[in-house]
Chains A and B, each alone.
Chain A
Amino acid sequence: MELFLQTLLNGLLQSGIYALVASGLALAVGVVGIVNFAHGEFLMIGAFLAWALSAYLGVDPLISLPFAALAVFGVGALTYRVSIRHVLLAPELNQMLLTFGLGILLQNLALIWLGGNTRTVTTPYQGSSLSIGELSVGGPKAIAFGLAVLILGALYGVLYRTTLGRQMRAVAQNRRGSQLIGIDVERVYLIAFGVSCGLAAIAGVLVAVLLFASPTVGLVFALKAFAIIVMAGLGNLTGVLWASVVLGVSEALVQTYVPGGGGWSDAVFFLLIFATLVFRSFRGAR
């Protein structure tokens, strides 16, 4: 029973980061209408920023977090201006391939520049742990989860309580209509895409603390985010939270209870994505 509860708790904590990555992706898909295959690479940039600031300037990742978010917001906005904007009306295939190319480009630039090694960030609270009754939680994990909840709370607050947020949701629901009632759609797109990338970067900083930074670290998170938004249904922002918890917890259960999970855990995960997609396609069939 205790093992079971501990597993559930681990899964729940893990889902915080998933929700951050997936909410960002859902913003890009829902508001801008772009499936951003480079989403994981923005996470990767955030992870490397946290590592660099910590390794060279001794800045704690928790302090560099807002700067990383802001910097990657800028990178995202720039990316939008020079590339994404030009394919908004192009066929979906072109949009997909453009961001796919961008992802390959960024990932391999990092590989050329920084090499394929993983970089870890050391923090004073690395080895700490928290106890809740019989259960125990790693300090960084708890902090990461707390931050994820805070930031997601802020995001949803903005989306549902501010003018900008309402505009974003309006654009997500009806592009033409929003233009007609005087929303500056272009500006909303730019901000939404930037925020989307910024959220990925925040997740990246947390990933750097919990795991490591490497050129390919983003890929697996991006794929999980895809799985989550597909489970939630495209553009469904609240569904993303639930789907993240489902994925995090089920992953934790597999790791704890499936024997020899090590070599197969990746396959299990990809099989899950595959099955989700195929299941949805057949259920959606007429």
Chain B
Amino acid sequence: MTAVGVQPSAVGRGDVVLRADGLSKRFGGLLAVQNVSFSQYDGEILAVIGPNGAGKTTLLNLLSGVYRPSSGRLHLLGRDVTQEPMEARCHAGLGRAFQIVRPFPEMTVHENVTVGALFGTRGTTLGQARERAYDLLERTGLAAHADKEAHELTLLQDKRLEVARALATQPRVLLLDEVMAGLRPGEAQEAVGLVRSVRDSGVSVLFIEHIMPVVRDLADRVVVMDQGQVLAEGTYHEVTANPQVVAAYLGTEEGLHA
């Protein structure tokens, strides 16, 4: 593995693009996410980690609008989107790729991406969307597969499609839900390259990840969650040196360096 080792954040602290203030989500008697606050800065790659059941996916669903929070507020590019539905958040600049890929099965790869380009930003014509979709396929290495149906792709290609489709909505912030899951180490390394190129194109990335080397290679900053709350926040090395974080992971079977 070509470890990047110590990669201090190259990004200066610019504007806040995504800000969560005291987000909580209650399912019946279960408090899945509890008073979570954090800020993401422009051009930053932010990782959210934590043991299983820490509330990471619920948090992501709160950010993307699958759930409305029980309390707390969410600001996207300075705008309060707490009560906005998913499609409005998308228009406001939030993209999301799912952990389990969800291509539209009866569409070609190109049509899949066209949907994102067409509806993700207002005022896009069909012709423009189709062109932008072709451009994105070239950028994400799917050019040769444009006319295939999504189910004909390999898992890595499916993940590329998932990212390409989310990028087609021209997000300012991209949420990635364990995109490395199921990939072989070589493939994961490729996916890391893809995420970096996404950031280099000016998109801030927030991702959930289990695979610690990927977090180390990618993340400018890490938010650690445990039992629905934020446990620690800082660079990879700061949080992995934090005794509380180590304790939280030791309590699980995964361990910190799984």
Contact = CB atoms under 8 A, between A and B. Distances in A.
Interface of A: 286
Interface string B55-69: 000000000001110
Contacts of B66: 286
3 contacts: A286-B66, A286-B67, A286-B68
Main secondary structure of the interface of B (DSSP, over half): loop
Interface string B68-82: 100000000000000
B26 to A, nearest CB: 12
Interface of B: 66-68
Q: Binding site of A, secondary structure by majority: helix, strand, loop or mixed?
A: loop
Contacts, number: 3
- Of all A-B residue pairs in the complex, the 3 with the closest CB atoms, nearest first, are A286-B67, A286-B66, A286-B68
Nearest to B65: A286
Contacts of B68: 286
A286 B67 CA distance: 6
B53 to A, nearest CB: 20
B67 to A, nearest CB: 5
Contacts of A286: 66-68
Nearest to A286: B67
Nearest to B66: A286
A93 to B, nearest CB: 12
A286 B32 CA distance: 14
A286 B68 CA distance: 7
A286 B66 CA distance: 8
A215 B38 CA distance: 65
Contacts of B67: 286
A270 B234 CA distance: 59
A224 to B, nearest CB: 31
Nearest to B67: A286
B5 to A, nearest CB: 43
A131 B67 CA distance: 57
A286 B86 CA distance: 12
